[in-house]
Structure 1
Amino acid sequence: MPSRLRALTAVSILSAIALAVPVPTAGASTGFQPDAPDRRIGGVDRFDTAARTALDAFPTGTGTALLANGWRNIDALSGTYLAGLEKAPILLTERDAVPATTLDALRRLGVRDVVVLGDENSVGDAALDQLEAAGIEIAGIVAGEDRYDTAAQVYGFGETAPETVFLARGDVPAGAVAADALAAGPAAFNGKPILLTAADRLPDVVAHALDEGQPRYVVFLGRGISQDVKDEVADIVPGAQLQTVGGRDRTETAALLARAYAPGVLYEWRGQVAIANGYTVDALGAGVWAGLRRAPILLTDGGALGAGTTEYLTSGIGMTRGTMFGDVRSVPQALAVQARELARGGPVAPRAVTAVDRAAGTLHVEGAVADLRAGDAYAVDDTVVTRAQLLAAAHVGSRLVVEGYLPREGTTTWTLLTTRPEDWTEGTVQRTAGAFALVEPRTDVVLRSFADAALPAGATFAVDGVDVPVARFLADLNDHDTLRVEGTRFALTNRDTDVTVTSVSSSSYRGAAGLDLPEHDHPLPTAADVVEVDGARATPEQFRAQLTPRDRVLSGTAGGVHRVQLWNGVRPDFYAHYDSGTLPTAAGAPPAVFHGRHPDTGAALDWTMGWGCAVTVNGVAATPEAFNAALAAGALLRVRATDAPLGTAGAIDVWRP
């Protein structure tokens, strides 16, 4: 291990503790809504914003925090790597006094030890005395001869040499934001340190750190680093893969970094993104916040989103949550609204609770068992609750918002919303005599019911986007259509029901209208319906005569006309273990029904065999009589079932040892 790679020895800062501090209430906003009030973390100034960010990032508290000067933030940028090693927030201070908001955050987090970034010109003795008077120990001070040396010292705190190192320009005026390093904050928090360089000169202390560490990947941030510096780095680390991530401005560099999937870089995409002003220090603490979630930071161009952020938001990446950092002076609310609109964001659609088993501690969401795990976050409306409390409040028909990888990687936030029938505005139709309901399509759980004769006074109706009278609306209502109800407006979208037939009775056929949907009984067509068989007009009697399992039936109502279409299908060959059934042995005899079991699953199988099918025993042609004589319970059959409407006689073979 290189000698510079060392850990703080004065105090074990890895001993962060989880304290019983107040937990922030769950925000009501879900999905990608960066313009929502609860999706902005911003205070009255940079110190307050950093404090609020730390409290949101560490809701259960932490024993250690990093402290940096709020105006000389270049030291704090490279310190994000150390924050990741210690799983600690970065808070800001004045040189000679610790702001009240910072002290309050330290107290609420339960911080016992502080690591100071920068020398006495950044955090003076008066501020240190103030911390000690508040019962907070100074675990260490990380300060080099200059900003380059400080970054190199931070680089040395890892127990092993990091594989990936960022190299960013540090020759910016005092108090200015080194935006390229700012954008790399979340990655630095996750073990990829930031070293600093001048545009045309690699400082000796940085060259020495690279020589000792010998990283596998070096990523140059921005377009301002000269080729001479890059060539010198290539000579120092000859085995490293070098890469430049740099756009035309800070917004493009941040966006490119957010999408950099080269070896050693960068994020495991989880759908979250932080957005901050690229010219302020508000994104500093956001590097820790986003690093905990393995989320990138996008930067704005002051009063505009900027080309890079705009392109990222419109790229089609499925973002699940956006959080703004800084108050409306830093990131105007108009930019937050624009970000949502560009990303086509909005709230997460609630999912229906379809079963609750409190004894077992489980609930079903749209028919599937919800994976309620320890460590996940639970809320009822705006109140944080335990898993048991959420289960106690849930009932069939409850609305549940499920957000994966929130509040951080590997966890899920489950928010149960107080539900009234009118809260369900959309579903599929279940039609009954004189009534209809909105149902959850996978389980048919009724979410909301209506009687034809008791629709709201003054209601308006639409079918496929066209306003219609109520009689036309009711005439077009069909099972599995989509219906949206907003106030007193009912908007119906006709959907053809596409059923693969599994069985047929004297009055109905059975099948599912789509993958993962339950099977239903569907009535056979009547003389009032428009009936087709394989594309040609037919009578209901012809429809019934040709209907067999594996056929496909499309049905739907449009313009008040119910249309039923049969498309004959051939059942593929299959194997079965024989249970019962014998072949007809004379021409004109009715088809015979066979029963068997699937060789692998044991599932019951039924099929029909008629006169004239091809018959073999152990692969040799045989008569129906010989075939029947060879049958025995458990015998393996290979079957092509008879489908008389298609003229398929079928074939059957029995294998006997």
Structure 2
Amino acid sequence: MPSRSPRLRALAAAFVLTSLATAGSALPAAASTGFQPDAPDRRIGGVDRFDTAARTALDAFPDGTTTAILANGWRNVDALTGAYLAGLEKAPILLTDRDAVPASTLAALRALGVEDVVVLGDENSVGDSALDQLDAAGIGVAGIVAGEDRYDTAVQIYGFGETAPETVFIARGDVPTGTVAADALAAGPAAFNGRPILLTAADRLPDVVADALAEGQPRHVVFLGRGISQDVHDEVSDLVPSALVQTIGGADRTQTAALLARAWAPYILYEWRGQVALANGYTVDALGAGVWAGLRRAPILLTDGTASLGSGTTEYLTSNVMSRGTVFGDERSVPQALAVRARELAHGGPAAPRAVTAVDVPGGKLFVGTHEAELHPDHTYVVDEREVTRTEMIAAAHVGSRLVAEWEIPRPGTVTWTLLTTRPEDWTDGQIERFAGGFALIDPGTGLRLRTFADADLPVAGTYFVDGAISTRSGFLADLNDYDQVRVTGTTVALTNGPISATVVGVDATGYSARTYGSTTAHTYPLPGPGDDVQRAGTSISPAQFTSELTVGDAVEDWTVGGVRHLRITNYAPAPFTSVYEGGTLPTVDPGDGTTSPFRGHAVDTGAPQTWSLGWGCRIHVDGALATPEQFNAAAKPGAIVYVQPTDGPAGTVGEIWLATTP
């Protein structure tokens, strides 16, 4: 490994098997409230790549930082692999020309209070005259990380961790100087959080990379994209025989980025907070976005240039409920039309208010339904557009007040809470609960009925809108369904049809149950029938095909407009999970009929019963080593810990099981 600067802190990446637990809304969310990537304050873009990186650093580190990473803005691969080093230092990445530091970069360094920088690349990346500028500005150089080529530089960055990382990405590095290495760009947030990126040529693994892998022996190796040859895959598998070697790669860069965003433990571990970064998949305007998103543990989605969001980004936006989206680059990089389209696909809009259902002034608590609002001292509090203290906000609240939480504002890890001191009878918008002869505005977080309207009370001469288009009173009532959103302003009534976007948790002969992010309750919906509009990836399919493909883990959108039911399915494998093994064996010969073998166990964290099935051909590991079914069956004893990726034929996912016989 290369030598380490004493100023560079170490980060040891731990191998942790986790299960995802969520809590929150008792009703399915109808839209990505708060997700407005087209809003002016949701874009970080400068006049050029240097200015964009500077603005990104200032937004990522509002309290400043003493150290920054400096990379050449045209040799972007160094900056992308440098995300791992930025994570070790908790530092932004800023860009420079070879012979001169741009004014925007110098201004950002001063504003951040940077005392010294770590330079990526040799004199061909950052020359003496640029270093002299830094010195004249009172900014020192803590170290220079430079290899013989981009592959060696990535290895040098990889070597700064005091402990060899458990997870390593491998991306193509044989891209022309000045063009974007899109797969490495998408992996930036994960690299910032302890999972470095090594580089390879499409059909040749550089010797320096092979040596690093052989020495480090990572537990997980993830190839990014489909452009790396099988020969390179085989060589890596031989170098790290006990590792889980996987590929995350779609048909294009937008799909690969979306797959990365969806990836579960143990190789990504995004801390899902419902937000994403959006950048052009063909430009380098978002080089600093990996640090920004890494601080927030958020993924990066890529556009297909300036003309389209791309199939991967489109699919991700339509199948997830999100709370915040930030665009990187100016409108020449990500046109405003694409930001608007992203909001529309996600059914985004302003952050949804929640109704306060109880106030405990002596205890300093507010409740939304049965949940206590997590009001921390370092959060920001606003009452009716006036910034106040936490105590003052609680004193002003009462049942029916609107409470809006906006995460990551003004800085990562914080929340701004806004209280509107309305009464339930003053609510003019909310989610719909339809009943015979009328509808109620309900709080989607608690189910609290805020205000009711009778159909007969709606003015005949009123103004009606459905999904932004002018409509009629009868058209409005025909489209009004549960989970839609309605806003009533005088005699103007606006309806937004809200699809139920959820993850399937169970399927039987009559219907499916699904749960949205943030919901602890699964709701049941009937399977489609004749006359329903059913699609997969933009292609119409039959109700029977929908039913045959629907499995646990899939994403479904389900809504009714004008009496026509629409369903959209996205095939995903069930989420991996960790369990305490109780019983079950793998077949030792191919059964030949596609049957699977049932297992049982219980959840590590809650003790809840778990069942799963794995078929012939699944990948088997026992105590970190590849194993045969016979070896697994011999080693599996009650109480052992297993990490399971269930098989899913429609999603093309082969089962995977890791068995740890000792803690």
Interval of TM-score (by shorter of Structure 1 and Structure 2): 0.5 to 0.7
1:184 corresponds to 2:187: yes
Structure number, greater radius of gyration: 1
Q: Is the Cα contact below 8 Å between 1:352 and 1:397 reproduced in 2?
A: yes
Give matches, 1:142-541, under 5 Å. 142-261=145-264, 263-303=266-306, 304-314=308-318, 316-366=319-369, 368-379=371-382, 386-388=389-391, 390-391=393-394, 394=397, 397-403=400-406, 411-417=414-420, 424-426=428-430, 467=473, 485-489=488-492
Residue segments in structure 1 that go unaligned for 5+ positions in a row: 16-28, 430-435, 469-481, 493-515, 517-657
Cα deviation, 1:459-517, whole Å, max 9, x if unaligned, reads 6799xx9849xxxxxxxxxxxxx98532224799xxxxxxxxxxxxxxxxxxxxxxx9x
TM-superposed deviation, 1:274 = 0.8
TM-superposed deviation, 1:203 = 1.2
TM-superposed deviation, 1:417 = 4.7
SS at match of 1:284: coil
Structure 1 residue aligned with 2:534? none
Structure 2 residue aligned with 1:33? 36
TM-superposed deviation, 1:361 = 2.9
Task: Decide whether aligned partners of structure 1 residues 457 and 204 sit closer, same or farther in structure 2, where only a CA change above 3 A counts.
Answer: closer
Instruction: Name the Cα RMSD after superposition.
Output: 4.0
CA distance in 2, matches of 1:298, 1:443: 32
Of stretches 378-387 and 160-169 in structure 1, the one that deviates more from structure 2 is 378-387
Structure 1 residue aligned with 2:28? none
Q: TM-score, normalised by structure 1?
A: 0.62
TM-superposed deviation, 1:200 = 1.7
TM-superposed deviation, 1:458 = 7.4
Cα deviation, 1:176-231, whole Å, max 9, x if unaligned, reads 11111111101101111001111121111111111110111111111111122122
Structure 2 residue aligned with 1:128? 131
Aligned length, in residue pairs: 458
Q: TM-score, normalised by structure 2?
A: 0.61
Structure 1 residue identity aligned to 2:5: L
Task: Decide whether aligned partners of structure 1 residues 250 and 428 sit closer, same or farther in structure 2, where only a CA change above 3 A counts.
Answer: closer
CA distance in 2, matches of 1:14, 1:165: 16
Structure 1 residue identity aligned to 2:217: Q
Q: Is the Cα contact below 8 Å between 1:64 and 1:113 reproduced in 2?
A: yes
Q: Is the Cα contact below 8 Å between 2:146 and 2:153 reproduced in 1?
A: yes
Cα deviation, 1:272-306, whole Å, max 9, x if unaligned, reads 11110011112221111111121111111112111
Residue segments in structure 2 that go unaligned for 5+ positions in a row: 12-31, 434-438, 466-470, 475-484, 496-519, 521-663
Q: Is the Cα contact below 8 Å between 1:293 and 1:408 reproduced in 2?
A: no
CA distance in 2, matches of 1:88, 1:195: 20
Q: Is the Cα contact below 8 Å between 2:328 and 2:334 reproduced in 1?
A: yes
Q: Is the Cα contact below 8 Å between 1:258 and 1:266 reproduced in 2?
A: no
Structure 1 residue aligned with 2:48? 45
CA distance in 2, matches of 1:345, 1:393: 29
SS at match of 2:287: helix
Task: Decide whether aligned partners of structure 1 residues 86 and 443 sit closer, same or farther in structure 2, where only a CA change above 3 A counts.
Answer: closer
Cα deviation, 1:589-644, whole Å, max 9, x if unaligned, reads xxxxxxxxxxxxxxxxxxxxxxxxxxxxxxxxxxxxxxxxxxxxxxxxxxxxxxxx
CA distance in 2, matches of 1:196, 1:8: 22
Structure 1 residue aligned with 2:80? 77
Structure 2 residue aligned with 1:119? 122
Of stretches 212-221 and 339-348 in structure 1, the one that deviates more from structure 2 is 339-348
Q: Is the Cα contact below 8 Å between 2:460 and 2:473 reproduced in 1?
A: no
TM-superposed deviation, 1:341 = 1.3
Q: Is the Cα contact below 8 Å between 1:367 and 1:442 reproduced in 2?
A: no
Structure 1 residue aligned with 2:5? 8
CA distance in 1, matches of 2:344, 2:445: 31
Which structure has the higher relative contact order (CA within 8 Å, separation 6+)?
2
TM-superposed deviation, 1:71 = 1.2
TM-superposed deviation, 1:270 = 2.5
CA distance in 1, matches of 2:158, 2:173: 15
Task: Decide whether aligned partners of structure 1 residues 103 and 385 sit closer, same or farther in structure 2, where only a CA change above 3 A counts.
Answer: farther
CA distance in 2, matches of 1:305, 1:209: 36
Structure 2 residue aligned with 1:102? 105
Task: Decide whether aligned partners of structure 1 residues 342 and 439 sit closer, same or farther in structure 2, where only a CA change above 3 A counts.
Answer: closer
Structure 2 residue identity aligned to 1:322: G
CA distance in 2, matches of 1:256, 1:444: 34
SS at match of 2:235: helix
SS at match of 2:203: coil
CA distance in 2, matches of 1:456, 1:381: 31
CA distance in 1, matches of 2:442, 2:226: 56
Structure 2 residue identity aligned to 1:310: T
Q: Is the Cα contact below 8 Å between 2:428 and 2:489 reproduced in 1?
A: no
CA distance in 1, matches of 2:356, 2:90: 36
SS at match of 2:34: coil
